[in-house]
Structure 1
Amino acid sequence: MTQRTWFITGVNSGFGRHMTEQLLARGDRVAGTTRKLEALDDLKAQYGDRLWLERLDMTDTAGIQRVVRQAFADLGRIDVIVSNAGYGLFGAAEEFSDAQVDHQIATNLLGPITLVRAALPHLRAQGGGRIIGLSTVGGQAVLPGGSLYHASKWGLEGFLDALSIELAPFNIGVSIIEPGSARTHFRYVNAQLGEPLEAYKGTPAGLVHGLFKDTSRLPLGDPAKMSATIIASVDQTPAPKRIVLGSDCWGLITKALTERLAAVEAQKESASLSDYPPGA
């Protein structure tokens, strides 16, 4: 088994924590970032120098650049960059403050873009590597009450999709991870709700408030298995463009793409009506 060094944001919980535990257990090194360093005290005590940690807020552009530079300086080669840290903002679009909107986009979109851009010169200089971006089923399929979360994840997927083509000549692979529901603490720790407006009570967007407070429905996905799949994907060449995790994710994305394609195909003849005539 090839031993690698990974840079992972948001290692204190969820997929970041699961991946870190599995990677350290198999002998890899992990450079992890979190806003809560104390959450990793147990792993640091167990694995010592194989776990490199720095405090980082994904809205701090200068901080991201500094931490990436320091990680490469301290560890030398880093094989895999994992953009994992993020959270969800849910509710009707007009239920959010401007500050909430700015923070969602800064954390889920601008932060990962900064992270990847900061790592690229190092990856090119070392002759290659892998970039993994944690998206979600919501990066391909949408639900009412998720407009701002979807905006951040659709933006991230567009960035990574184009980036995969840009970086192919440099032996840098890019994979987009699209998990469905998983038994992490995302709903209860990494999700925020807007201030409910009476106008949306009983509407599809308004129902999201009850959904996130309902603890009776258990998510289908096993985060440990999902994390193992993400880790194993690094051994695939070429890098898989997208990795769908969970039967619920597969169903929702398939439905969304089928409906989207049908709507486009129905306009095959009308689309050409806006062209210049042949030879014009």
Structure 2
Amino acid sequence: MTRTWLITGVSTGFGRHLAEQLLSAGDRVAGTVRRLDSVADLVATYRAAFHVAPLDLTDTARIRPVVDAAHAHFGRLDVVVSNAGYGLMGAAEELTDEQVRHQLDTNLLGSIQLIRAALPHLRADGGGRILQLSSVGGQVAFPGGSLYHATKWGIEGFADALAPEVAPFGIGVTLVEPGGARTEFRYGSSVLAPAIDAYAASPSARIRQVLEDRTALSLGDPARMAALMIATVDQTPAPRRLVLGSDAWTAITGALEKRLEEVREQKSVAFSTDL
């Protein structure tokens, strides 16, 4: 079955792997990039099956016209992959106001507006799938990633509420939670806040050391991860979450177990407040 996919951020990382695998398999892809020349090879190779548009997710006024144009170009949308985003790293106090706003606008508000723009088309077309790229950082929080975690925990809450809202229309929603992968995310697209000397002794300094050292390699194979994301579209019902990577599984299960243990210890206190 040939499907039509809308994927944000197809120039690098998971978006690029998804686009390449889908196009080579005969599917059609409407992709977005910030620079059109970054996908010139895909345009040349897959002229009829690949439609690309420039889009910066912080320009929210352009999101709906881009989604509408993608639908008009191919006549339908089957799967929407909200992939574009980046990591902002540093202690919360180190972040500039502009960095805070840009991170929220890109990862959270941009993702929300993309999905909202796609929903009328998916409903009209009789259903479909939404894949929202989250992260192990959507379930676990590490020092030095407060704003990045804010965006990922935020989009997870949005998607969790969205899923039952759109289920009656045949639309499935899957949150993708990869661990570290050998993409450009860590050493290419991640942004470091300006340093405050006082935080050199803080646990938040660890992420700064990793990004500045540039030698630590992630475990995850992005091509395998992309293939598993694609495979979820054939699963019914849509999995609510897709955890990818042994590091992600270990960190997420550990965090959930600890959180549940802490909540259970408060049962008597919680019940004591009822009238």
TM-score (norm 2): 0.99
Structure 2 distance, partners of 1:104, 1:154, is 13
Task: Tell me how many residue pairs correspond in the alignment.
Answer: 275
* Aligned residue in 1 for 2:112: 113
Whether 2:263 is the aligned partner of 1:264: answer yes
Contact 1:182-1:219 at 8 Å conserved across structures = yes
The one-letter amino acid of 1:151's match is A
Structure 1 distance, partners of 2:204, 2:217, is 21
* Aligned residue in 2 for 1:24: 23
Structure 2 distance, partners of 1:160, 1:190, is 24
> Secondary structure of 1:82's partner?
strand
The one-letter amino acid of 1:74's match is H
* Aligned residue in 2 for 1:42: 41
Contact 1:88-1:149 at 8 Å conserved across structures = yes
* Aligned residue in 1 for 2:185: 186
> Secondary structure of 2:45's partner?
helix
- RMSD value, Cα: 0.7
> Secondary structure of 1:219's partner?
coil
* Aligned residue in 2 for 1:170: 169
* Aligned residue in 2 for 1:204: 203
Structure 1 distance, partners of 2:17, 2:214, is 22
Q: 1:13: Cα distance to partner?
A: 0.1
> Secondary structure of 2:201's partner?
coil
Structure 2 distance, partners of 1:208, 1:195, is 13
The one-letter amino acid of 2:102's match is H
In the alignment, structure 1 segments of 5+ residues that lack a partner are none
Q: 1:216: Cα distance to partner?
A: 2.4
Whether 2:121 is the aligned partner of 1:122: answer yes
> Secondary structure of 1:230's partner?
helix
Structure 2 distance, partners of 1:272, 1:40, is 57
Contact 2:187-2:214 at 8 Å conserved across structures = no
Question: Which string of whole-angstrom CA distances, capped at 9 and with x for unpartnered residues, describes residues 234-265 of structure 1?
Answer: 00000000000000000000111011000000
In the alignment, structure 2 segments of 5+ residues that lack a partner are none
Q: 1:206: Cα distance to partner?
A: 1.9
> Secondary structure of 2:224's partner?
helix
Question: Which string of whole-angstrom CA distances, capped at 9 and with x for unpartnered residues, describes residues 57-107 of structure 1?
Answer: 001111101101111111111100000000000000010111110000000
Structure 2 distance, partners of 1:59, 1:26, is 32
* Aligned residue in 1 for 2:53: 54
The one-letter amino acid of 1:162's match is A
> Secondary structure of 2:48's partner?
helix
Q: 1:43: Cα distance to partner?
A: 1.1
- Matched ranges for 1:6-25 at <5 A: 6-25=5-24
Q: 1:54: Cα distance to partner?
A: 0.2
> Secondary structure of 2:113's partner?
helix
Structure 1 distance, partners of 2:188, 2:210, is 14
* Aligned residue in 2 for 1:136: 135
* Aligned residue in 2 for 1:217: 216
- Counting aligned pairs with the same residue, the percent is 59
> Secondary structure of 1:86's partner?
coil
Q: 1:266: Cα distance to partner?
A: 0.4
> Secondary structure of 1:178's partner?
strand
